[in-house]
Amino acid sequence: MKVAVVSKSDVRGGGASAVAADVTRYLQKFGHTAVHFNADDDSQHPIYGGAGPVIRALKNLEGKRGYRDHNPFELLSSTVRSLRQDFDIVHMHDLSTTLSHEAVNWISQKTPVLWTLHDCSPFTAGCLYPTNCTQFQSTCEFCPQLGNWPMQTRKNRVKTLHTRRKKLQQENVHFSAPSRWMIEQYKSAGWPADKAHFITNGVDLEGFRLRNVSEMRKKHDIPDDGRPVYLFSASHLGDSRKGPNKVAEIARIMEDKDPVIVLVGRYSELAADLFEGLSVVHAGFVKDQETRAELYSLCDTAFVFSEEENCPLIVLECLASGTPIAGFANGGIPELVDNGVTGILTKNKIEPIVEFLRELTPEKLTDIRKSCREAATSGHNYEDICNSYIKLYQQILGGTVSGASQPATAGA
Domain that residue 307 falls in = 213-379
**Per-residue pLDDT tens digits for 149-170:** 899 888 999 999 999 999 999 9
**What is the pLDDT averaged over residues 12-41?**
93
pLDDT over 90, % of the chain:
89
Is residue 328 situated within a structural domain? yes
**Going edge to edge, which strands form the sheet with 113-116?**
33-38, 2-7, 89-92, 113-116, 173-177, 196-198
Residues 338, 373 within the same domain: yes
Say if residues 206 and 266 touch (Cβ distance below 8 Å): no
Q: Is the pTM of this model over 0.85?
A: yes
Is residue 131 situated within a structural domain? yes
The confidence score (pLDDT) of residue 318 equals 98
**Per-residue pLDDT tens digits for 262-313:** 999 998 899 999 999 999 999 999 989 999 999 999 999 999 999 899 999 9
Average pLDDT of the chain is: 94
Is residue 409 situated within a structural domain? no
Residues 154, 93 within the same domain: yes
The confidence score (pLDDT) of residue 412 equals 40
Residues 244, 287 within the same domain: yes
Is residue 340 situated within a structural domain? yes
From CA 44, how far away is CA 390, in angstroms rounded?
23
Residues 44, 177 within the same domain: yes
The confidence score (pLDDT) of residue 399 equals 87
The confidence score (pLDDT) of residue 212 equals 98
The confidence score (pLDDT) of residue 117 equals 98
The confidence score (pLDDT) of residue 14 equals 76
Task: Return the number of other C-beta atoms located less than 10 Å from residue 184's C-beta.
Answer: 15
Q: How confident is the model at residue 10 (pLDDT cuts 50, 70, 90)?
A: confident
Res. 411: pLDDT tops 60: no
Say which residues have a Cβ less than 8 Å from residue 403's Cβ, sequence separation at least 6: 193, 194, 195, 196, 197
Is residue 208 situated within a structural domain? no
Is residue 410 situated within a structural domain? no
Say if residues 214 and 224 touch (Cβ distance below 8 Å): yes
**Per-residue pLDDT tens digits for 222-261:** 999 999 999 999 989 999 889 999 999 999 999 999 999 9
pLDDT over 70, % of the chain:
97
Residues 274, 133 within the same domain: no
Residues 328, 295 within the same domain: yes
Residues 346, 287 within the same domain: yes
Q: Which amino acid is at 257?
A: K
Judge residue 391's burial from the number of C-beta atoms within 10 Å of its C-beta, 0-12 exposed, 13-18 middle, 19 or more buried: middle
Residues 62, 38 within the same domain: yes
Question: Any idea what the CATH number is for the domain that residue 233 is in?
Answer: 3.40.50.2000
Q: How confident is the model at residue 403 (pLDDT cuts 50, 70, 90)?
A: low
Element (H, E) at 366: helix 362-379
Is residue 67 situated within a structural domain? yes
**Per-residue pLDDT tens digits for 76-122:** 999 999 999 999 999 999 999 999 999 999 999 999 999 999 999 99
What is the count of structural domains for the chain? 2
Residues 12, 152 within the same domain: yes
Residues 29, 46 within the same domain: yes
Res. 198: pLDDT tops 70: yes
Residues 156, 242 within the same domain: no
Q: How confident is the model at residue 64 (pLDDT cuts 50, 70, 90)?
A: very high
Res. 50: pLDDT tops 90: yes
Is residue 295 situated within a structural domain? yes
Do strands 279-284 and 260-266 pair parallel, antiparallel, or not at all (unpaired)? parallel
The confidence score (pLDDT) of residue 11 equals 77
**What is the pLDDT averaged over residues 34-43?**
93
Q: Rounded to the nearest 5°, which phi and psi values hold at 4?
A: -95, 125
**What is the pLDDT averaged over residues 141-147?**
92
Say if residues 374 and 314 touch (Cβ distance below 8 Å): no
The confidence score (pLDDT) of residue 41 equals 84
From CA 4, how far away is CA 85, in angstroms rounded?
11
Res. 406: pLDDT tops 80: no
Residues 218, 154 within the same domain: no
Q: How confident is the model at residue 7 (pLDDT cuts 50, 70, 90)?
A: very high
Res. 404: pLDDT tops 80: no
Q: How confident is the model at residue 402 (pLDDT cuts 50, 70, 90)?
A: low
